[in-house]
Structure 1
């Protein structure tokens, strides 16, 4: 029994790729007659069109002046960056089927990739099922494509543009019969001279070319003619050159006119974020951070195109946990851009996301339900917009004994304090700081007086005008009131970071002071030795 041959090559043919890439993030324009212009103004020509524009008579090569004579046709400029984003998204979709993917050179404004699906039957099913799954993923990216599966590489490439809305599967041995009715323009690499020769010979289809005798064709056209003859018969071999698998989450878009409204920007960011989340979900990932890079217009430039000296504005949102919800990510971007406006009209948007593992939380049977991290991110973003950047988060101790040795860190749920955090607390010992010998006596005396007191820190500390006697605090002014020091316990010396430019050194006293009106103030004051000034650090309540 002869072995059963299965098709191996899947060709994905995306026609009018410049137009589809331009409209991928503009769903409102998909049902209109659109023509994509390429070139230097005013010598621009049409390089790609939509179906409605072709029905009105617009063709590739139509000039800008001629395009004005077609009513109802809207012109857009070509965007290479959006085409690169669409091509990268298409590669990411087909790479899920097989790592052997070859990108072909564009032809007639079409983008083409070929996937080697040999040996994938046990994972993804028969070739027809694989083709349907790939077509579904390509449509989810906002692209329309034609697919063809064949044992022969060139047969799949030639037949894919004529496959229609459903994937075509060429059976083994039926390559020549499938290609026979196709026009000669379906072949790749046909030169103008060869096309004229075929026209003089009266050849119109691939079947006519395949019926020619091989020896006589080679005698007249050489090996180039034999290559085309083998392609027409579905017998020409091919050595694949797979593209490098690079997984990136990026989307780009350009505006035809500068955008200065946040609502208009969010209208474009929504489909871009949906595409990033879709591509991350295809690999069971989420978005750990999203960076939006805005190209701002140059007010001195007359053209709305992006100038090389255009200003770049960049913002990054990083949720506490990786998210796979485009609505929440859009809300975070909305709040961030509302708090940090770009300050100039926008002409281009570039989104870059870092992938992360999808969050899976397992709750205990008797433990209370925790708030969703996504809602927490939105709540923190709203608070941050009210109180300012850097004022929302959790305190984090620094590895130093300096006063106020903490920073506000990003809040992360399910974060437990490590045992090493306690090592950053200041530990005082009189022998290490050169305190007087009567430290224990002073501390006991002050503790007996302030046994029920609690220190209320002043942040930031208040600068005092101090009068001293014999290096001891005697008199100071605070809030317009004069205070005379009755008792002072100290000094307790602390210093650190002497080996860096951020060195610090200070002496602290716990004092009891009386005002002229009879009020008593129990407080902690400090002398900054490096800067030579006195500070009121806290008050004992």
Structure 2
């Protein structure tokens, strides 16, 4: 009979155990008492180490280490109001208590909160839920409370509140080592608190990081939520030849342009006015012809009689000055 090593896992030993049981049944061994009455040495010599382990378990001589599995701990606080509330003061009072209790529980096991989830139950069983991402995980009660308070300052509801719950997602405190020329935010939480206030006043579509669109249309961009990834050090590029820089006007300044055989001959604008002595163009560009956001424009670089250099463009019969070259 093939003998297995002691390092095999229980799943790998199952076929061998079934084979040993079949042999024991042929010997007339059907109970634990009958197995325990056999000679240990003789059993091991005939059936191998696995049979010895079975004999030790039958005689109560086998020790198995108990592995403790802790259930996942829930960091959540909730409260049901006896009377319906319609003002923010009782709600803020309870949220402050929740944060203090959660901070104590998290600090006791050396964890910090990386995310808060606020759940509000209204009369009529309507629910509201909001997740707050904490830029730098912390247990600072004052800082977390200001974040909730800022959000609730502009929160409105048609129904009174009957219950509130607050849960925290724990994480180990972050430890990060930066390079010699890398920088980080001095106070990330204060920055994101300011961004939250600006978002409450201006709207989410007006606060964030501008990202260029995948198009040739000048100044086309979209707003994305602000994220901080640090400022890595960049190698210093070699000195390049100087060239004129375009100082753009945002928005572009409206202008009136006199044409001579479809070529600009005179420009009149708020800051630029005069006869055109030299011109380069037109530089044609267009895009989004497949949907309702299609666009087309013709750009010109013009030198006026006062030696100023400007860039202007024409789109759908309207002229605008994009900027002036320094």
TM range (shorter): 0.5 to 0.7
* The one of 92, 102, 124 aligned to 1:307: 124
Report the Cα offset of residue 500 of structure 1.
Answer: 4.8
Query: What residue is the counterpart of 1:533 in the other structure?
Result: 318
- The change in CA–CA distance for 1:291 and 1:486 in structure 2 (over 3 A counts) is farther
Count of aligned pairs between the two proteins: 255
1:362 aligns with 2:177: yes
Matches within 5 A, 1:199-214: none
Query: What residue is the counterpart of 2:91 in the other structure?
Result: 265
State how far apart, in whole Å, the 2-side matches of 1:359 and 1:504 are.
48
Q: Does the 8 Å CA contact 2:117/2:132 hold for their aligned counterparts?
A: yes
Query: What residue is the counterpart of 1:318 in the other structure?
Result: 133
* The one of 304, 311, 319 aligned to 1:524: 311
SS at 2:150 equivalent: helix
Report the Cα offset of residue 525 of structure 1.
Answer: 1.5
Matches within 5 A, 1:56-75: none
Q: Does the 8 Å CA contact 2:185/2:230 hold for their aligned counterparts?
A: no
Query: What residue is the counterpart of 2:219 in the other structure?
Result: 404
TM-score, normalised relative to structure 2: 0.57
State how far apart, in whole Å, the 1-side matches of 2:145 and 2:95 are.
7
Query: What residue is the counterpart of 2:302 in the other structure?
Result: 511
Report the Cα offset of residue 395 of structure 1.
Answer: 3.9
Report the Cα offset of residue 331 of structure 1.
Answer: 1.1
1:341 aligns with 2:155: yes
- The change in CA–CA distance for 1:492 and 1:288 in structure 2 (over 3 A counts) is farther
Q: Does the 8 Å CA contact 2:299/2:311 hold for their aligned counterparts?
A: yes
Q: Does the 8 Å CA contact 2:184/2:230 hold for their aligned counterparts?
A: no
* The one of 240, 244, 248 aligned to 1:457: 248
SS at 1:493 equivalent: strand
Deviations 1:27-75 (A, max 9, x none): xxxxxxxxxxxxxxxxxxxxxxxxxxxxxxxxxxxxxxxxxxxxxxxxx
State how far apart, in whole Å, the 1-side matches of 2:264 and 2:181 are.
58
State how far apart, in whole Å, the 2-side matches of 1:477 and 1:314 are.
56
Report the Cα offset of residue 269 of structure 1.
Answer: 1.5
Q: Does the 8 Å CA contact 1:324/1:358 hold for their aligned counterparts?
A: no
Query: What residue is the counterpart of 1:330 in the other structure?
Result: 145
- The change in CA–CA distance for 1:411 and 1:456 in structure 2 (over 3 A counts) is same
State how far apart, in whole Å, the 2-side matches of 1:258 and 1:520 are.
73
Deviations 1:196-248 (A, max 9, x none): xxxxxxxxxxxxxxxxxxxxxxxxxxxxxxxxxxxxxxxxxxxxxxxxx7877
Query: What residue is the counterpart of 2:81 in the other structure?
Result: 255
Question: What is the alpha-carbon root mean square deviation over aligned residues?
Answer: 4.5
Deviations 1:426-467 (A, max 9, x none): xxxxxxxxxxxxxxxxxxxxx9xxx77532222233444544
What 5-or-longer segments of structure 1 have no aligned partner?
1-117, 125-244, 297-305, 420-446
* The one of 493, 505, 526 aligned to 2:284: 493
Report the Cα offset of residue 406 of structure 1.
Answer: 3.4
Deviations 1:67-106 (A, max 9, x none): xxxxxxxxxxxxxxxxxxxxxxxxxxxxxxxxxxxxxxxx
Report the Cα offset of residue 334 of structure 1.
Answer: 1.7
Report the Cα offset of residue 415 of structure 1.
Answer: 3.4
TM-score, normalised relative to structure 1: 0.38
Query: What residue is the counterpart of 2:191 in the other structure?
Result: 376
Deviations 1:305-353 (A, max 9, x none): x125x5x655543233344434322211222333x33255641435465
